[in-house]
């Protein structure tokens, strides 16, 4: 039964991932999410419901449109899988609780923001600012953070990254990080509390630097390539929500034994 439950949650997550694909493509274009059914971008044929089943249809169709055989990007099932796996992990960690629901939705919106950031180098305010407000409001009822921790999270998250961006600007004389990243980290602080911020900035910087160097060595030798930072903040936030408290208490325990 436990396995069936987990699979059910995973499949619901895949369906949310399918919807995430719709939001990722339609929100920046200003299109409606609900009005029209999905169409093949090449032949414009409507996609039947059975060809829209997350991940499985993509495998069954061998990554091609049924009608025109145009290739379907692997990004679609990747987004579905990411949301599915994060939803499942949230369920395994939090069980049937309101916190599970909040974290699953938090991960869902972080995946959407990450891919919009990849494509357009923007993090929509509707998610980041909306997330700050809702994340702070839910601090009154959720068990993972106090209201003070959430408020400090907004201030430390927003302020901390603002300081990093300012130092970067002073050193490089150009903007490396957008205001969207600052709002994103404030949102993360609102949902996860201020203690999450050092871990998220640290892990995002390390992974971001490694990926950035890899991309730069491939493309140009110059440092001018702008790399979105949002996806690394999002990944750090998801990691902290799932295992960060354990890492943080181990880390603080090393610094201040007996805390």
User: x/- string (CB under 5 A) for Zn ion, residues 147-176?
Assistant: ------------------------------
Beta carbon of residue 26, minimum distance to Zn ion (angstroms, whole number): 18
Reduced to 3 states, what is the DSSP secondary structure of residue 64?
strand
Q: Under the criterion CB under 5 A, does residue 39 sit at the interface with Zn ion?
A: no
213 to each of 6, 137, 175, 203, 209, how far by Cα in Å? 38, 39, 18, 15, 6
Query: Quick one: 72 or 186, whose CB is closer to Zn ion?
Result: 72
Give first-to-last CA distance, the chain, whole Å: 39
Q: Which of residues 182-241 bind Zn ion (CB under 5 A)?
A: none
For residue 105, the minimal CB distance to Zn ion (Å) is: 32
Number of residues that bind Zn ion (CB under 5 A): 7
Q: Which is nearer to Zn ion, 51 or 181 (CB)?
A: 51
Taking the complex as a whole, how short is the minimal distance between the CB of residue 72 and Zn ion, in angstroms?
A: 9
Place of tokens 């619901």: 12
Q: Give the shortest CB-114-to-Zn ion separation in angstroms.
A: 27
Scanning 39-47, 110-118, 192-200, 223-231 for contacts with Zn ion by CB under 5 A, the matching segment is 39-47
Select 70 or 126, whichever has its Cβ closest to Zn ion: 70
Rounded distance between C-alpha atoms, residue 151 and residue 220, angstroms: 41
Whole-number minimum distance, CB 69 to Zn ion, in Å? 7
What span, in angstroms and rounded, lies between the C-alpha atoms of 178 and 107?
21
3-class SS at 44? coil
Question: According to DSSP H, which parts of 95-195 are helical?
Answer: 98-120, 125-138, 147-172, 179-192
Q: In the bound complex, what is the minimum distance in angstroms from residue 45's beta carbon to Zn ion? A: 5
43 versus 163: smaller Cβ distance to Zn ion: 43
Closest by CA position to 182, among listed 153, 156, 161: 161
Packing angle, helices 2-26 and 75-94, rounded to 10: 140
Site string for Zn ion, 42-81 (x = CB under 5 A): xx---------------------x-xx-x-----------
Q: How far apart are CA 23 and CA 112, in angstroms?
A: 7
Residues 152 and 190: their CA atoms lie apart, in Å, by 8
Least separation, in Å, of the C-beta of 170 and Zn ion? 51
Rounded Cα–Cα distance for residues 195 and 186 (Å): 12
Among 12, 22, 27, 40, binds Zn ion (CB under 5 A): 40
Q: Which is nearer to Zn ion, 37 or 172 (CB)?
A: 37
Give the DSSP letter of residue 243. Answer: I
Interface with Zn ion by CB under 5 A: which range of 5-13, 33-41, 112-120, 166-174?
33-41
Give the footprint of Zn ion on this chain (CB under 5 A): 40, 42-43, 65, 67-68, 70
């Amino acid at each position: 039964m436990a396995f069936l439950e987990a699979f059910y949650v995973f499949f619901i997550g895949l369906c949310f991932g399918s919807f995430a694909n719709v939001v990722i493509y339609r929100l920046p274009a200003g299109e409606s999410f609900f009005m029209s059914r999905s169409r093949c971008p090449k032949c414009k044929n409507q996609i039947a419901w059975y060809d829209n089943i997350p991940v499985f249809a993509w495998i069954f169709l061998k990554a091609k449109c049924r009608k025109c055989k145009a290739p379907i990007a692997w990004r679609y099932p990747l987004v579905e899988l990411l949301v599915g796996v994060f939803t499942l992990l949230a369920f395994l960690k939090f069980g049937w609780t309101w916190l599970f629901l909040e974290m699953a939705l938090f991960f869902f919106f972080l995946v959407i923001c990450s891919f919009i950031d990849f494509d357009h180098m923007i993090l929509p305010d509707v998610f980041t600012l909306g997330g700050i407000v809702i994340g702070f409001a839910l601090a009154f009822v959720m068990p993972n953070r106090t209201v003070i921790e959430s408020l400090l999270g907004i201030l430390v998250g927003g302020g901390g990254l603002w300081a990093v961006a300012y130092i970067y600007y002073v050193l490089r004389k150009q903007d490396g990080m957008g205001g969207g990243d600052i709002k994103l980290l404030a949102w993360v602080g609102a949902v996860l509390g201020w203690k999450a911020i050092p871990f998220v900035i640290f892990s995002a910087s390390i992974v971001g630097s490694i990926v950035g160097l890899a991309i730069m060595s491939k493309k140009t030798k110059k440092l001018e390539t702008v790399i979105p930072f949002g996806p690394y903040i999002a990944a750090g936030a998801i990691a902290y929500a799932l295992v960060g408290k354990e890492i943080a208490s181990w880390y603080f325990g090393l610094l201040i034994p007996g805390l």
